[in-house]
Amino acid sequence: MYQNTDTFPMFERLDPRSPTPLYAQIATRIRVAIAAGELRGGDPLPSVRHLAAKLRINPATVVQAYRALESDSLVATRHGAGTFVAEVGTERRERDRIAEARRLVRELLGEAGRLGISASEVRNAVDHELNGRKSK
Amino acid sequence: MMFVVETHDLGYRAGSDFEIAQLNMHVPAGAVYGFLGPNGAGKTTTIRLLLGLLRPAKGAITVLGQPMPQASVSVLARTGYVPERPHLYPTLTVAEAIDLHAAFHARWDKPWASELVSRFDLPPARRISALSKGETGKLMMLLALAQRPELLVLDEPTDGLDPVVRRDVLEAVLDYVSAHSATVLISSHLVHELERICDWIGVMDQGRMIAELPMQEFKAGIKRIRVTAAPRDAGNAPFTLLARASLNGSGEEWLVRGWEPAMRAFFDTAGASVREVVDLDLEEGFVELLRSFRSPLPRT
C-alpha cells in the first residue's frame, strides 16, 4: 500500500533533536504559512489526531502548538468542528514575515559566529547571493 | 497527578548478578512514556513485573489503580502488551490469531481490527510461521490495539523492523492514543524515535531508575557548558554538576543537569565566564547521564 508521506509539505523536516521544542516548530511553520498567505482565513488545520499520526508525534504536542497559535489569535478552535485559520490583516502578516526573516538571520549569524565568520563577511555573502538571484 | 503505573521501592532479584532495587516509577495518565536504558538495564524485567508476569521480592506496584500482581486478570484485560518476543501460535493463520484474541477481550473492536488488517497489508490466510518479521510486528500491534486498552505497554515494538513498517506501526499507535487518550509505556533503544513521540522519559540503568521527568524538561535542562576560569568547588551550584573535564588549557567543559539561563550568575559570582552553552539532544543527554551515573563525581 502506497502512502503519501508528503501530505503536509509544510511540516517536512521537523527536527525532534533540535532544542526548539517540536510544538514551537509546528507553530512557527503554521505562523509562516499564514504570514506568506499560503494559509488563509477560514482554512481548516488538520485535526490533532490526524496530524499527530501522520507526523508520528505526541498528540499533546499538536494541541500545544494549536494553543500557542490560538493565544496569538492566528487560529480559532470551534468545538466539534476543528481548528481554523483566523482572518489576519495584511499588516499583521507583514509584521510576522519580518519577524520570521529576523529569526532566520539570527540563526544564520549564530552559526556564522561559531564558525568564526565575521559580520561583514556574512553581509557580503548575503549581498552576493541576492544579486546572483536577481541576475538569473 | 494521576498515575497509571506506579511502583514504590520495587525490588526483584534474578540470579546473583542482577537485581532491581528501590525502583520508583510513575507513568502519568495520558502520557507517552519513553522507557530508556542500555541492554540489560532491567527494562523488560520491570515491564514483566508491572504486568504481573514476575513476582516482586519487595515493594508495591499499582497499575490502572489496582495492586499487582494481585489484580493481574482485570489489569491485563485493560492493558495491551506487545512483548519483546512475539508469543503467537505458529500454526494459526492471521485471521485465526485475530479471532482467538477477540474471544478473550470483551472490548474487542472488530471493525478497527479489520481496518488495521488492510492498513497494515496483512495476509489473513497466511500462517503465523510464514509471516515476515515486519508482518509479525504489525500483527502484534494490531492485537494489542484492537482490544481497546487503557494502557499500552510496548517493549521494543519496532526493534528489527524496517523504516516503512515502523512508520505504519507508530502511526497506528498515535492514532489510537489521540482518539482514546490512552497511556503508553514504550521501551526502545531507538532514542530518536522516542524523542518524537514521548512526553515523559524514564531512564534505567543497572536495575535502578536514574531519571524520570517530562521530556521537555530533560532536554532543556541538560547542557554542556564551556567555562573559562572555572571554580574548583561547585558544591553550592544551583544546578547538578554531572561531569567536568579540562579543555586542553583553555578552560573546562561542564556537563550539568537542571540548567536555566539565569544560572550564569553562579559563574559570574565565582569570577568565571561562560563561553558557550551547548544544547544536547535526547541521545546525547541519555549517554552523558549514564556515563555520570556509572562514574559519579567525587563529592567536593
Count how many pairs of residues, chain A against chain B, have C-beta atoms within 8 Å. 61
**Sole residue written with cell 500545544:** A64
Q: Dihedral of the CA atoms B120, A59, B109, B44 (nearest 10)?
A: 80
Residue A49 at interface with chain B, using a CB cutoff of 8 Å: yes
* Cβ–Cβ under 8 Å, residues B20 and B49: yes
Nearest to A17 among B174, B178, B281 (CB): B281
* Cβ–Cβ under 8 Å, residues B24 and B210: no
Query: Which residues are CB-neighbours of A108 under 8 A, at least 6 positions away?
Result: A122
Residue A113 at interface with chain B, using a CB cutoff of 8 Å: no
For A62-100, what is each residue's pLDDT tens digit?
999 999 999 999 999 988 889 999 999 999 999 999 999
Smallest Cα–Cα separation from A83: which of A59, A48, A51?
A: A48
CB contact residues (below 8 A), chain A span 57-86, against chain B: 57-61
Nearest to A21 among B171, B179, B216 (CB): B216
Query: Does residue A9 have a pLDDT over 90?
Result: no
Q: What is the ipTM of this complex?
A: 0.77
Domain boundaries, chain A: 9-85, 90-135
Tell whether omega for the bond before B69 is within 30 degrees of 0, i.e. cis. yes
Here the cell at position B118 is 488492510
Tell whether omega for the bond before B214 is within 30 degrees of 0, i.e. cis. no
Fold topology of A9-85 = Arc Repressor Mutant, subunit A (1.10.10)
Write down the number of H helices and E strands in chain A.
5, 2
CA distance A79 to A73: 16
Here the cell at position B140 is 502484534
Distances (CA, A) of A24 to A28, A59, A101: 6, 14, 16
| pTM for this entry | 0.86
CATH superfamily of B3-216: P-loop containing nucleotide triphosphate hydrolases (3.40.50.300)
Nearest to A17 among B32, B168, B195 (CB): B195
- Range list of β-strands (E), A26-136: 75-78, 82-85
pLDDT confidence bin for B298, thresholds 50/70/90: low
Residue A20 at interface with chain B, using a CB cutoff of 8 Å: no
Collapsed DSSP state (helix, strand, coil) of residue B186: strand
CA distance B93 to B96: 5
Here the cell at position A99 is 519577524
Indicate the average pLDDT of chain B.
Answer: 90
- % of residues, chain B, pLDDT over 90: 56
Amino acid at A87: E
